Structure 1
């Protein structure tokens, strides 16, 4: 009597299908469909919708991460920005930040 292999779970089938699609389609495919989805979503929803989901995401993240997490991502972002920008960029944003703080206090 021949043995039959155990049935594959739905999660395993999805994972294998996703891996196969990823290999055959490539990074550009996912960038294109992501852009299409983002454009479609932006047409369907208002600024308020995006503000609310941003607030929810920020709240959820702050509940699951500590100060060290935020320090690390801030450092990564600062490093990435410094590799892309020159001194004039920092002079420009520095002056904006200073005036924004002064305007808040007045």
Structure 2
């Protein structure tokens, strides 16, 4: 009787098949997955996360990484650099409003979270 060396017969040679998504190199997998995601969005079938869902998912991921011990532990200097970079990207910071930074005298930041931070009503 002939033996099956590559099929799904559950033999000793696992992981040697040249077929299927898992056997592809990571770059090829990423390209195929990207096409699937784009198609799902175009057809309206993709899940759109609400901000609250995204927060919960991100929190779960961070907690899991810390529990496994695989999370990156920032040094104080790395944390300062990351915070500075994020502040610059958002246009925020202590140096004034976005309008002042962008040079637009008529620009408004009304409705931003910072405007409502005190919880009071706008005047």
Please report the TM-score for the alignment, with normalisation by the length of structure 2.
0.36
Higher relative contact order (CA 8 A, sep 6+): 2
Please report the TM-score for the alignment, with normalisation by the length of structure 1.
0.40
As a proportion of its length, which structure holds more helix?
Answer: 1
